Structure 1
Amino acid sequence: MRGFSLLDSSGLPVAKTCFDPANIPEALHLDVWRQASRCGAQVDSLQRDWRFRGRTSNWYTDGVVFSHTLCDATHYQRTPRHIRRGDSDCLVLKLQLAGHQQGIFGDFDHFSSPPGTLVLQDWAIPYNITTTPYEVMAVSIPRYLLRGSHLMYRRNPVITWQPDSPQARLLVPILTQTLKSLATASAGEADAYAAGITGLLDGLLLGDRELLQSKYRERDRLEDMRQYLSRHLSDPDLGADHLCRQFHCSRATVYRLFQREGGIATFILRQRLQRCMQEISRMGVVQKGFLEALAHTWGFSSRANLARHFKAYYGITPQQAVEAARSHQNEGQREMNAPYWRDAHRVSRWLESIAPGASPTEPAGAHGGTRQGPRELAGH
């Protein structure tokens, strides 16, 4: 592993930010979080009066960002624009402490993380993630520090480990203890924590090669089927029969290939709901009849049918999602010199500094290069 300095003669504290909801005007909570997350993803509210649900803290040490986040229901979108810009080229390990997150990486790879779940995400792939009110511990690690990162990327952009899995049993205690220790750690101690969790995660990835590759079997055929379905979501009758005719296979083959997706009907429904959420988040002014047109466009039989499935999946109705997005447009007076704004810009710079060090299709280190250091000293 390159770049970690385990000795710290300066005794400087680790670089830290904290968003304390008691010290931020309520009308500005969402805007502050949008600024902090700007280099990672677009942030939209899924409820009116979006707030931090507790003290949300971030730590930066030698290119690695740790975070403890408590937020209201949120929609995160990492777009091709974020990826083309080259910021935040990392793998993100998240421990779901409370609430629920679900989403899609790229066009097809769905995931769900109830409390206790560990999720490893590859940020070289666009994603759409929605949450209920939640609490998450996370660490963002530059790709070039993880030799096993090439096992993910497009082939497997998101991995979920259940609480009783060997990976969770190893990683969860270390991640939680690290976040606890960072409150009083020096910069040198924080570097050691980062080196430890990075080394362990890399070892687990490299040791899991056979498990990861088992998910690639018949991937090309499944990929073609998923692309076909995504191009025909507006057809309300879309289903297994379409694939049987198009790919000259049996229904049993279709069901087997989509077993990991929860079935073909579940896959189609999730794809349609994700497209609807994306449309809602893009709309500035919503015209009369928008939700009826949305339902028709994406293959739902009616607005009521869309609302029922949308509510079951996201926990809110399409109308509530529209109202939540509208309620936060140009909200609040910004005090750009306030401490919380300075902290938001610091977090954004930390994520921005996680720049590419190796191609995501190759093992880290293939291009050589050096680690980027922090762009600021702790405490500044």
Structure 2
Amino acid sequence: MTTDNCTVPSIQLDATVVGAKHCYDAWRESVRAVYDVEPAADVKSTTESIKAWLLKELIFSDVSFSPQQFRHCRRLAKDSNYISLQIYKSGRCLGTAGDQTWQVAPGDVHIFDFSREFSSVASKSTVIGCLIPHEFVGYDPARHPAHIMFSGSTPVGQFLASTMFALLSQLPRVGISEADDLSNGFCSLLQGLIEPQLPPKEKERNAGEERRNDMRSYLDRNLSDPNLNVNHLCRVFNISRPSVYRYFAEHGGVAQYIVQRRLKRAYFQLASVPEFHGRVKEVAHGLGFNDAAHFSRLFRRKFGVTPKQAANLSSAGRLSRDRNQLREQSINFSQLSEWIQSI
């Protein structure tokens, strides 16, 4: 993994980094949070590669892999509250989800819901993609289809694909200070394209459900604001306090929802940048925790480790360790999985 205080975190994994002997095992470990994978041939490939960038809570990737089978099963789908956008640059894929079947061809844009099971068989392929939390684009598994496709022959498909390629080309140079704007802009574009995919009868949604989703999305975009509370939501959405309480009752209230989302974002940020002096305090203050000791207690209660331990554990698992040592020892390539499990 590479990162500094200026550019967004990134990962590169290929045979030049881990050695050909460990290439497939490293690939399998990296994607285990979302897929069970099996090679289509008896011989393990030595050509798998991953480049990935962490943009706020979006994970963009550029991957190449040999012919193999993918399965996103119930065990993996249990808490997978995000969608995957994929564009094949080369190769092909045949997938199934329930009674739905699809074919993936180069240039088409496919969106999959990772809260549901599906499987696929792919040829040797190169694919760009992005993992996105449901709430960032207003995706609702109860209303939206499990699979959405935009043909590469249509203006919409071409526009979305060109946006993805343009963004990926810039990610190696994107600064952390620019991450929020780029993430929000991309999600707004995608949300505008996903919403029309609803069946006609679903477009007249319950107003309360829409308002609740809008408030959750607003909170997730503004977790760094120390003034987030019930009154803040009442002003922004012109809504009564009892209504706000009702929308967040299942989460234990607005304050509890905000704290839990902030803690999750804190773990996400600590796991993404190597630990340095003052990092924990910086993350805590950046997410509205003015009392570092209180933040540490809440963090440990939720994750079982202190913020500093989480940062150190993350740093210990970086791919920057000596390559010879990587080839000789039992290898743990879990950084990408940690990113995925954090969103």
TM-score category, normalised to shorter length: 0.5 to 0.7
Q: Distance in 2 between matches of 1:172 and 1:154?
A: 24
Report the alpha carbon displacement of residue 49 of structure 1 after superposing the two structures with TM: 3.4
Report the alpha carbon displacement of residue 53 of structure 1 after superposing the two structures with TM: 3.7
User: Which residue matches 1:90?
Assistant: 82
Q: Distance in 2 between matches of 1:66 and 1:14?
A: 11
User: Which residue matches 2:195?
Assistant: 206
Q: Which residue of 144, 152, 156 corresponds with 2:135? A: 144
Q: Distance in 2 between matches of 1:55 and 1:116?
A: 20
User: Which residue matches 1:172?
Assistant: 161
C-alpha spacing 1:193/1:51, structure 2 compared with 1 (3 Å): farther
Q: Which amino acid aligns with 1:23?
A: V
Equivalent residue runs for 1:1-380 within 5 Å: 11-51=5-45, 53=47, 55-84=49-78, 86=79, 88-105=80-97, 107-147=98-138, 149-150=139-140, 152=141, 156-209=145-198, 341=331, 344-354=333-343
The one-character-per-residue Cα deviations of 1:36-56 (angstroms, maximum 9, x if unpaired) are: 111111111112433354642
The answer as to whether partners of 2:144 and 2:198 remain within 8 angstroms in 1 is: no
Q: Distance in 1 between matches of 2:36 and 2:137?
A: 26
Gaps of 5+ in 2: 204-323
The answer as to whether partners of 1:14 and 1:187 remain within 8 angstroms in 2 is: yes
Q: What secondary structure sits across from 2:87 in the alignment?
A: strand
Report the alpha carbon displacement of residue 186 of structure 1 after superposing the two structures with TM: 1.3
Aligned-residue CA RMSD (Å): 2.8
C-alpha spacing 1:55/1:75, structure 2 compared with 1 (3 Å): closer
C-alpha spacing 1:341/1:173, structure 2 compared with 1 (3 Å): farther
Gaps of 5+ in 1: 1-9, 215-333, 355-380
The answer as to whether partners of 1:156 and 1:212 remain within 8 angstroms in 2 is: no
Q: What secondary structure sits across from 1:183 in the alignment?
A: helix
Q: Which amino acid aligns with 1:34?
A: R
Q: Distance in 1 between matches of 2:159 and 2:26?
A: 34
Q: Which amino acid aligns with 1:76?
A: F
Q: Distance in 2 between matches of 1:112 and 1:335?
A: 41
Q: Distance in 2 between matches of 1:161 and 1:340?
A: 42
Report the alpha carbon displacement of residue 201 of structure 1 after superposing the two structures with TM: 0.5
The answer as to whether partners of 1:18 and 1:56 remain within 8 angstroms in 2 is: yes
Report the alpha carbon displacement of residue 335 of structure 1 after superposing the two structures with TM: 5.6
Q: Distance in 1 between matches of 2:153 and 2:121?
A: 24
Q: Distance in 1 between matches of 2:177 and 2:146?
A: 32
C-alpha spacing 1:175/1:52, structure 2 compared with 1 (3 Å): farther
Q: What secondary structure sits across from 2:187 in the alignment?
A: helix
The answer as to whether partners of 1:89 and 1:123 remain within 8 angstroms in 2 is: yes
User: Which residue matches 1:263?
Assistant: none
The answer as to whether partners of 1:125 and 1:153 remain within 8 angstroms in 2 is: no
Q: Distance in 2 between matches of 1:194 and 1:115?
A: 25
Q: Which amino acid aligns with 2:174?
A: A
Q: Distance in 1 between matches of 2:85 and 2:201?
A: 17
Report the alpha carbon displacement of residue 191 of structure 1 after superposing the two structures with TM: 3.1
The answer as to whether partners of 1:40 and 1:82 remain within 8 angstroms in 2 is: yes
Report the alpha carbon displacement of residue 213 of structure 1 after superposing the two structures with TM: 6.2
Q: Which amino acid aligns with 1:199?
A: S
C-alpha spacing 1:47/1:143, structure 2 compared with 1 (3 Å): same
* Identity within the alignment, %: 18
Q: Distance in 2 between matches of 1:212 and 1:101?
A: 31
Equivalences, count: 220
Which structure ranks higher in relative contact order (CA pairs < 8 Å, sequence separation ≥ 6)?
A: 1
The answer as to whether partners of 1:50 and 1:73 remain within 8 angstroms in 2 is: no
C-alpha spacing 1:206/1:187, structure 2 compared with 1 (3 Å): same
